Amino acid sequence: MKYRSLLLISFLFLSVSPAYALQFNEMHYNPEGNDNNKEFVEIKGANNLSGYLFGDLKSNDTLSLIQHRQGNFSLIVEEGFNYSSINSTVYSVGATLGDNLNNQGDTIFLYKNNTPILGTSYNASLANGNGYSLEWKNETWMESAEKGGSPGRENPESSKPEENTSENTDISIVTLLPSRIYSDTVYENLFRLENEKYESGGPLIDVQVRFILSKDRDILVQETFEKSFKHYSESGTGSLRVNTTGNTTLCGTIINTSIPDANSSNNISCANLTVLDSSSIPCSISIDLFADSDQIEEGNSFSFENIISNTTFPFSIEYWIEDLQGRIEKSVVETSNLYKKSFTPRFDEQDRVYRIKNKLVHTGCNNSLKNASSELIFFSWKNTSDEMMNSSFTIESITGNRKFGETIFVKILVKKGDTRKSAIKVWIDGKTKASQITTAYLYGKNKEIHIKLPVVLDVCGEKGSYDLVIEGLDLQSKKNIDLEENICSSTNRQKITTPKRDEIEFLNSSLFFTGRTFHIPLLLTNKEDEEKRFTIRGYVYKGSQSYSNKSENKISLSVPANSTEEIELEGLFTEQSGQYRFMVKVEKEGRKSITSYSKEILFLLPNAEILSLYSLAQKPGEVKLFTRVRGEGHLTLKTLTGNQETEQEIASEEKVGILVNASSGTRTMILLYENGVVTDAKLFLFLFPERDISETTSLLSKPQETSISQTPTKTLPTSHTIYEAEPVVTPLFWIVSPIILCIAILLLAAKKKFSVTL
């Protein structure tokens, strides 16, 4: 990482009145020749530091007065320092300043009443052994104008040229943690880094940050992290776990940047944190499950969310999925986040009913609701539509710079017929493959889908004619395109390696969207002859930089001997779109080493999507179906119910009510268009708890719908109500019931000794 020559920050930990506006004003951390007895630190704004302490990252020292003068400066020196010609107050701290001012960089502090009120960090880019000191001028640090500096007096104007700065760069840091945190809990994303003067198309900035957590005069945590961003970033900005309680102070300091910063006054952020012992705090936390719908069509995934009533405390949830007979369909997964989860059912029967179960296994408080748990029922159904289509590809457009080393975008109209296959692959072919392969997965049957896929061209290649290849759904289509050359030396060509397959196999898509939860399905295989416990973690990275939490995305489970489990890692990615890699770390019971597996993934800017779809209707007829969407372009919502079709323009994040004539078994398709292109579609199946005879008769003329055992209507935390179906009445019931009724009446008549005319 390339950094600017020097970025040195001086800051105030606490707000003070103007009368006590102290400032580190000068520092001589590496004098020319022998350092002994020559190092000093100058503080401007006071000539009396009685009761103060001075320290660095390793030790603190008491200040001993050895000379007092009227004025505005105090000097802190080593024993043997020659101060005979200096007209200012002088304090000694013993043989060394702290643990010696480190010549490679250090952080120093001034304490009052055991609280840090001043601090500064430096590296070795300036004033390192050349006889000059560091002086604070024009809100930044510069080498002194004179050799030896100007201890005890105002800093003279420098004859050296000031460091170039950019007027379009103002890098700031802000602490994100709340004022109260809990012990024995891992906190991620500690800071927000931002270029306050960001303009579209601005450069990528590399920043190095050091953060320190202190209590009284003791440093509890000291770590450094690096981050790359253009506008701002919050993810991957440090991780913190506190094993003590009480009042602490967290300070983050920007110590290096790859681009000169025009304003260094906001390069430090501090926050006072109160650490509580969460295990001694009483609480009452319940858990629930929520889904936008209670049914799923073949080829799609069912999405659901764990919900807890209080997210103040750290927590851990276990969830799993069973069928009606109690057979496990998805093994137990442990999670500490509330991201949306997904499950893809098996469609080996006409219809299937599932139970999602969860329980709260840990809270960072004394929860009065022991064994808190919840359950949600949903069903899956196969697509039995008679309207079939043949699969085909149509290339609608190719955009982007058609040159090696660049990325092109291919817009494709996919007609997907009656096939279970879902993978679509796109790449550039010549004598050999000339690009990476982009893979997308399209679920469902008998529908048209517009997709726009990026194709990342190889870094090096010759000018010429190549084939754009689209393959999938038992089809292959090619289109000839011309590419411009980008000639590279042999040392610049990329080496592509494939990780050795062992316990982990990646499944499904490598294409995701920024700003949305992504899911990485995996196959985990236990190849040993006994059951083993595994812990799996996953995160997004590029090069040496991690872009998602390494500790939050964690699954622990036991796998039987010589068997395989399907698991899923997930996360929320908020960085820039582009090529990244996903790293999976596997810990196995009885094995000391951690094995790693990685896969290339692609994040794109998101299309418009349907966020929710539900109805509150309890009786058939003209009912309202509610939906909420998210998007930025020109949005149109189309509704298809039998022969009915409606269309309306909508605004972003708008809740829309749609009138539909529905009876039990009615299926309504919602299509969302963004700028004329379909970006999302959802199907809603109406099931009512009350039916009349005519409605039941109409159901009998059709293939029998899925029946679900009667359960009470459940009101979800979001006030959406999902009505579950009663058992569908079969034709046999209507044949047998009248016969049974007649027999019962005849028996009753015989017993009462009177006749009944039928």
d(CA 673, CA 314): 40
Work out the pLDDT band at 700, boundaries 50, 70, 90.
very low
For 428, phi then psi, to 5°, come to -105, 130
Question: Rounded to a whole number, what is the distance in angstroms from the first to the last CA of the chain?
Answer: 96
Instruction: Give the pLDDT confidence score for residue 190 in this predicted structure.
Output: 94
Mean pLDDT of the chain: 76
Query: Do the beta carbons of residue 438 and residue 407 sit within 8 Å?
Result: no
For 738, phi then psi, to 5°, come to -60, -35
β-bridge pairing 52-55 and 171-175? unpaired
Work out the pLDDT band at 605, boundaries 50, 70, 90.
low
Instruction: Give the pLDDT confidence score for residue 691 in this predicted structure.
Output: 41
Q: What is the DSSP letter of 200?
A: T
Which of the residue ranges 452-456, 622-626, 683-687 has the most confident prediction, judged by mean pLDDT? 622-626
Work out the pLDDT band at 702, boundaries 50, 70, 90.
very low
Work out the pLDDT band at 528, boundaries 50, 70, 90.
confident
Work out the pLDDT band at 373, boundaries 50, 70, 90.
very high
Instruction: Give the pLDDT confidence score for residue 507 in this predicted structure.
Output: 73
Instruction: Give the pLDDT confidence score for residue 756 in this predicted structure.
Output: 35
Instruction: Give the pLDDT confidence score for residue 158 in this predicted structure.
Output: 58
Q: What strands, in cross-sheet order, belong to the sheet with 447-456?
A: 392-400, 407-416, 447-456
Instruction: Give the pLDDT confidence score for residue 248 in this predicted structure.
Output: 93
**Mean predicted confidence (pLDDT) in 32-37:** 77
**Amino acid residing at 402:** R
Q: Which of 260, 192, 194, 190 is nearest to 231 (CA)?
A: 194
**Mean predicted confidence (pLDDT) in 593-617:** 79
- SS3 string, 564-600, reads EEEEEEEEECCCCCEEEEEEEEEEECCCCCCEEEEEE
Work out the pLDDT band at 711, boundaries 50, 70, 90.
very low
**Mean predicted confidence (pLDDT) in 318-323:** 92
Q: What is the DSSP letter of 433?
A: B
Structure tokens at 263: 């304003």
Q: How many Å separate Cα 509 from the centre of its chain? A: 18
Instruction: Give the pLDDT confidence score for residue 332 in this predicted structure.
Output: 92
Work out the pLDDT band at 184, boundaries 50, 70, 90.
confident
**Mean predicted confidence (pLDDT) in 265-274:** 88
24 or 6: which leads in pLDDT: 24
Tens of pLDDT, residue by residue over 152-164, are 999 887 544 444 4
CA angle (465, 468, 473) in 5-degree steps: 155
Tens of pLDDT, residue by residue over 473-518, are 888 888 888 888 876 544 344 443 333 335 888 876 667 777 777 8
pTM for the whole thing? 0.37
Work out the pLDDT band at 8, boundaries 50, 70, 90.
very low
Which string of DSSP letters, residue by residue, matches 348-367?
SSSEEEEEEEEEEEEESSEE
Work out the pLDDT band at 550, boundaries 50, 70, 90.
low
Is pLDDT at 609 greater than 60 in this prediction? yes
Instruction: Give the pLDDT confidence score for residue 359 in this predicted structure.
Output: 95
